[in-house]
Chains A and B, each alone.
Chain A
Amino acid sequence: MLAYTPYLILLLPLLAAVSIRIFLHPFPRISVAVSTLACLGSFVGSLSLLVFGSVLGGVAAPSLPWVEVAGFRANFGLMGDPLARGMATLVSGVAFLVHLYSIGYLEKDPSRSRFFAELSLFVFSMLGIVLADNLVSMFIFWELVGLSSYLLIGFWVERPAAGSAANKAFLVNRVGDFGFMLGILGVWALLGTFHFSEFSARVSELPVGWGVTAVGLGLFCGCLGKSAQFPLHVWLPDSMEGPTPVSSLLHAATMVVAGVYMLIRVLPILELSQVTMMTIAWVGGLMTLFPALIACQQNDMKRILAYSTLSEIAYMVMAVGLGVSGPAMYHLMTHAFFKCLLFLAAGSVIHGCHGEQDIWKMGGLGKRMPFTASVLLLGTLALCGIPPVSGFWSKDAIFAATAHSPGLAAVSMAAGFFTSFFMLRMILVAFGGEPKNEAARQAHEGSFWMIAPMAILAVLSVLSGLVPVEKFLGISPEEGHAPWTLWLSLLVALAGFVPAYRLYRHAPQDPINVAILRYKFYVDEFYQRALISTQDAMAKVTDAFEGWVVRGFLVRGSGVVARASGQGLRLVQCGQVQVYAGLFILGVFFLLGWLWRGGSM
């Protein structure tokens, strides 16, 4: 009985999405309830697996055949190992809270049935990634997550910016998935299997060579796309065009960390190649700093948080690259709580200010939205890694892993400095001083549905630092902290608050202006000019070639020849296609008959 629970966990949200799409969408209240309850069901299922599963030992769900041809076997099988159970509980739990929050956030939106259907589709796909027991199934859900992200970013269909952002997210992910797909093909070629549980046994037989490195880097491409790491990070800040609950659930807490989760699943293969591991560690390391710098000069509240998400995921990627998956998972969990909280708080601010997202147009919100302000502050402490809030413990575990690579330690700690800087900047500008306009003056707290999830997440953000992770995730954080990283990282993080406080305490506008940071290192501009324009120019050239040369000259030319020869057969050319057809078939008959006779002669 318990063995089928993973299917129940997985299929409940799908059932909700399908039934809303087909039957329930004219009734928003029922749709909302069905979707939320389905998510609650998944959460309860995951939680009971987490609790009882560890009592019973491993729980393996029977797998369903999908394709089985000539030695190639791809099944839908579900994992029941501790990592999957813990992650499923985390995903469905956070998703449930975001469902609750969305009830309040979208209470006046006429399309909320569609929103909740898409949200359920997302929960289904995300749980699929978490529970999949092989790379092909994971890829399937991986793509479905991409679809739900695309749909949810573009939820406000009438906004052109939302449409562009949705397309950008989907396409950038497709580029990453191109590498991921080749990586999966490579895994199959090397190992003859893509079942996670068989990896560790089979890799020992593998010779180490460039093939293994290439496969590892291919798989990493998938992570670059989904987890928005350089050079495929550009879609995530734009994805903030979606409704805030979406930013919170997909683009902060769960979906974007799928890349990290996948890396942990394929770690036995990655570890075979030192080059792959170094690449992952350094991409992650540099990526902690790069978005943290950009965030210092952004003005949109959600975008600031989005850049900090990029930076935090990079910590996890770096940890995986250093070969320590425990701290990566640990940070994944605490980050899910506090980043989700931060986004929900930002959503509460935006909701309260009637859609305003520019922090320079807010001001004075501390007095008007005290609850939001206090949870935002709590989330900030967690994000910056200030003890005793959760982020401190998980970041500390990652810093400890960098103790033997000073380069990585330096960049990731510098990132911590800037994180403290931009977070305090955001809080001082938005919540301190006087209201900058009427919307900010009339700001108010949201309804109960919005407050309650924030309160729960706030508690979790504080407490999750004290949770014995190894018990729930089956992965133990590394033992033996190196004290110098602990103290140094804490010192650096605290130091980041100082300049922010001095610069932004009473600043009416931004006292510093660094163009290269405001323009995000011109990566988007570079892609637009160098890649997209080239691609479109190539498309125009090939299209012109197709139109003028192939269609115009060759095809029309042959048509002219045919018609000219037709002049000679004026007698039968009466313009009736039936006549042509008849003649044609007759001709075939004669030809065949003649051949046959020739053959038998």
Chain B
Amino acid sequence: MTLAWTLLALLVLPLIGVAAICLGAAPRKTALGVSLCNLIPGFLAFGVVLREGELLFGAEASMIREVFPVQFRLGMDGLSMALVGLTLVVTLAAMGVAPAEVKRAKEYYICLLLVGLGGLGAFLSLDLFYFFSFHEVALIPSFLLIGIWGQGDRTGAAWRMTLYLMLGSLVLLVGLIGLVWAAPETARSLDWRMLGETLRANPIPGPQQTWLAALLLVGFGTLVSLVPFHSWAPGGYASAPAPAAMLHAGVLKKFGLYGLLRLALPLTPIGWKELSWLVGILLAGNILYLGFVSLAQRDFRWLLGFSSAMHMGTIFLGLIGGTVLGLGGALLLMVGHGLSAALGFAVAGEIGHRTGTTWMQDLGGLAKRAPKLWFYLMIAGMASIGLPGLANFSGEILIFFGAWSAHPVLVGIAAWGVVLSSVAMLRAIRSISTGPVPSHLAAKEITDLRGAKEVWPMALLTFFLLAIGLVPNLILGPARPVLERILQP
């Protein structure tokens, strides 16, 4: 038994959920149930990947080849496994955090399911067309989630984010087409695995590679909020409802990095090397420039948005390090950041929900009044500033070691970035959780997380942050052969 159907099931289950909600099933319960059930095909597929290295669906069947070049092919290997796992966990946690009472609950939960589905689809697709479209599919519900259920300048933020990402996608699309185009006519394919083999056998000439790598860098970079294409992110996250911010910052943002790992690095290696000086400058911008901007933030959500964009710089450093160690660190940090950002936005959501504000100067004394919430705030904060034992640290340190020989100065900048982000995050934690309770909150009843029902999503994310931090081989072991292949000429 090959269990290849599990890959399809991963995508079909959320669709069933969407259909059921449309037909009138209880939205929250359905969404939660579907996300929970989706763990089963996920685990089965992981089992196969761990044993056999990869799992493919539809790769042999030719479906609509005659009419159209696009084929619906799914696949999972050690690299996509990590990101699919991240998506499943964050989706489940996001559904758990999502409020039971919300206006237009039906549409709300459909949107959330679709965002998760988009992430899963993009990580599972072998065909570039689906790879690209699944990500686009996720953008629309994100737009709606921010525009309809968001807070603050939600319409502006939604528009800005969507326009920006669409523009980025456009550049990306040109790059992808160019990539396909660059293969010899007879061996052209939209399947990135075949395309990869073709392009390894017939490498693209140098200057053309540089152009393609640049297009992919700008395209994917915009989706990852690489400076200077970052400014959609903080505002978008600040305005988004908590579950949407969790899914977007935790999962969708990783799509761009995944694309760079899958396509730009192995298929345009010369171009990527040529551009690494540029990437170096931009990622230093992410770390230093956004690091300083995040210091000035006074709203906790904005701070999370900026610091989340800031950490992308460190991941990029892993990508240009040119070593398996660096790539492994980048992957670990991708997963770690996904979990910690999701936890951060979940906590921010709960704080906002309970106190009516996330302005840090208006908050205080949370540690006494809501110790459980404080605990998870600490975990999220400590993870994001790279405390050992939590996943982000193992990613960061491997990136430092992996990039040290090629870019020692950038490693120094990234290490200083750890200090900067600590300053911002510790100040935030202090003003939110310690000191006296401000007068306008003193009269308010501020409850802690109540019972297992409100705790489990955060405990789930914490569990995986700890597990990956303590045993990074959970991620690195299966992914290592894939990462090694990426760097092979």
Write the A63-76 contact mask toward B (1 if CB under 8 angstroms, else 0): 00111111010000
Task: Determine if A588 and B434 form an interchain contact, defined as CB atoms under 8 angstroms apart.
Answer: no
How many Å lie between the Cα of A554 and that of B404 in the bound state?
Answer: 35
Across the interface, do B185 and A599 meet the contact criterion of CB distance under 8 Å? yes
Q: How far is the CB of B154 from chain A (nearest CB, A)?
A: 14
Residue of A68, A158, A577 near B140 (CB, 8 A) is A577
Query: Across the interface, do A163 and B136 meet the contact criterion of CB distance under 8 Å?
Result: no
Q: Is the interface of A mostly helix, strand, loop or mixed?
A: helix
Residues of A within 8 A of B393 (CB): 140, 143
CA distance A539 to B294 in the complex (A): 8
Q: Known interface pairs A147-B382, A555-B164, A578-B140. Does A540 touch B296 (Cβ–Cβ under 8 Å)?
A: yes
Say whether, besides A66-B472, A140-B389, A555-B231, A158 and B293 are in contact (CB < 8 Å).
Answer: no
B177 contacts partner chain A, Cβ-Cβ < 8 Å? yes
Choose one: A163, A542, A543, A554; the contact of B430 (CB below 8 Å). Answer: A163
Q: Does A202 contact B (CB under 8 A)?
A: no
On chain B, the number of residues with a Cβ less than 8 Å from chain A's Cβ atoms is 79
A244 to chain B, nearest CB (A): 20
Task: Tell me how many residue pairs across A and B have CB atoms closer than 8 Å.
Answer: 172
A175-B426 Cα distance, complex, nearest whole Å: 14
Contact B185 A174 (CB under 8 A): no
A157 touches B181 (CB 8 A): no
Which chain A residues border B382 with CB–CB below 8 Å? 147
Cβ of B206 < 8 Å from any Cβ of A?
no
Instruction: Give the contact stretch, choosing among B24-32, B48-56, B408-416.
Output: B408-416
* Interface pair B401/A72, CB less than 8 Å apart: yes
Contacts of A68 in B (CB 8 A): 473
Residues of B within 8 A of A538 (CB): 292
Contact of B181 among A163, A170, A558, A599 (CB under 8 A): A599
Nearest Cβ in chain B — how far from A21, in angstroms?
A: 8
A577 vs chain B, min Cβ distance (A):
6
CB of A23 within 8 A of chain B?
no
Segment from A46-54, A177-185, A405-413, A421-429 that makes contact with B: A177-185
**In the complex, which residue of chain B has the Cβ closest to the Cβ of A550?**
B231
- 8 A Cβ contacts from A528-558 to B: 535-536, 538-540, 542-543, 546, 550-551, 554-556, 558
Instruction: Identify which of A70, A163, A174, A559 contacts B419 (C-beta below 8 A).
Output: A174
Q: Any chain B CB within 8 A of the CB of A144?
A: yes
Give min CB distance, A186 to chain B, whole Å. Answer: 9
Chain A residues with CB under 8 Å of B297's CB are 543
For A596, what are the chain B residues with a Cβ–Cβ distance below 8 Å?
A: 68-69
Cα separation A540 to B434 with both chains bound (whole Å)? 24
CA distance A182 to B419 in the complex (A): 13
Q: Say yes or no: A69-B328 contact (C-beta < 8 A), given A171-B419, A584-B166.
A: yes
Contact A577 B144 (CB under 8 A): yes
Nearest B residue to A179, CB-CB: B415
> A69, B324: Cβ atoms under 8 Å?
yes
**Distance of A542 Cα from B295 Cα, bound (Å):** 10
CA distance A189 to B389 in the complex (A): 24
- CB of A600 within 8 A of chain B? yes
B467 touches A (CB below 8 Å) = no
- B325 engages A70 (CB within 8 Å): yes
Contact of A158 among B136, B325, B365 (CB under 8 A): B365
Task: Find out whether the CB atom of B231 lies under 8 angstroms from the CB atom of A140.
Answer: no
* Contacting pair A588 B436 (CB below 8 A): no
Residue B398 is within 8 A (CB to CB) of chain A in the complex: yes
| CB neighbours of A546 from chain B (8 A) | 231, 293
Interface string of B225-258 (1 = CB under 8 A from A): 0001001100100000000000000000000000
Q: 8 Å CB contacts to A: which residues of B204-237?
A: 228, 231-232, 235
Residues of A within 8 A of B232 (CB): 555
Interface residues of B in 288-322 (CB under 8 A from A): 289, 292-293, 295-297
Q: Mark A148-190, 1 if CB is under 8 A from B, else 0.
A: 0000001001111011101100110011001001100100110
Q: Are B401 and A543 in contact (CB under 8 A)?
A: no
With A69-B325, A158-B365 in contact, do A185 and B231 touch (Cβ < 8 Å)? no
For B433, what are the chain A residues with a Cβ–Cβ distance below 8 Å? 157
Indicate if B423 sits at the interface (CB-CB under 8 A): yes
Cα distance, A317 to B325, chains bound together (Å): 35
A595 within 8 A of B: yes
Chain B contacts of A72 at CB under 8 A?
325, 398, 401-402
Q: Is A593 an interface residue (CB 8 A)?
A: yes
Q: Give 1 or 0 for each of B93-135: 1 = CB within 8 Å of chain A CB.
A: 0000000000000000000000000000000000001001100
Which residues on A sit within 8 Å (CB–CB) of B286?
none
A592 at the interface (CB under 8 A from B): yes
8 A Cβ contacts from B377-406 to A: 382, 387-389, 393-394, 397-398, 400-402, 404-405
Residues of A contacting B163 in the complex (Cβ-Cβ under 8 angstroms): 558-559, 562
* Bound CA–CA A162/B416 (angstroms): 26
B486–chain A nearest beta-carbon distance, Å: 12
Partner of B292, one of A164, A171, A178, A542: A542
B406-448 with Cβ < 8 A to chain A: 408, 411-412, 415-416, 418-419, 422-423, 426-427, 430, 433-436
A467 near B: Cβ within 8 Å?
A: no
CB within 8 Å of A: which B1-47 residues: none
Which residue of A is nearest B235, CB measured? A551
Instruction: Tell me the minimal C-beta distance from A10 to chain B in angstroms.
Output: 14
Interface string of A491-517 (1 = CB under 8 A from B): 000000000000000000000000000
Does A377 sit at the interface, judged by CB under 8 A?
A: no
B422 cross-chain contacts in A, Cβ below 8 A: 170-171, 174
Residue of A with least CB distance to B294: A539
15 further A-B contacts with Cβ under 8 Å, apart from A543-B296, A588-B132, A593-B69, are: A66-B473, A140-B389, A143-B393, A144-B387, A157-B435, A158-B434, A160-B434, A167-B430, A185-B401, A535-B295, A558-B164, A577-B144, A581-B137, A592-B177, A592-B190
Q: Can you offer 24 A-B residue contacts whose CB atoms are under 8 A?
A: A69-B328, A70-B325, A136-B397, A147-B387, A157-B368, A158-B365, A167-B427, A167-B430, A171-B426, A181-B400, A182-B411, A185-B408, A185-B411, A188-B401, A189-B405, A539-B292, A539-B293, A555-B164, A558-B167, A559-B163, A577-B147, A581-B137, A588-B133, A588-B173
Closest 3 CB pairs of A and B: A543-B296, A539-B295, A163-B434
What residues of chain B have their CB less than 8 Å away from a CB belonging to chain A?
68-70, 129, 132-133, 136-137, 139-140, 143-144, 147, 159-160, 162-164, 166-167, 173, 177, 180-181, 185, 188, 190, 228, 231-232, 235, 289, 292-293, 295-297, 323-325, 328, 365, 367-368, 382, 387-389, 393-394, 397-398, 400-402, 404-405, 408, 411-412, 415-416, 418-419, 422-423, 426-427, 430, 433-436, 471-473, 476, 480, 484
Instruction: Write the residues of chain A forming the contact surface with B, with a CB cutoff of 8 angstroms.
Output: 65-70, 72, 136, 139-141, 143-144, 147, 154, 157-160, 162-164, 166-167, 170-171, 174-175, 178, 181-182, 185, 188-189, 535-536, 538-540, 542-543, 546, 550-551, 554-556, 558-559, 562, 577-578, 580-581, 584-585, 588, 591-593, 595-596, 599-600
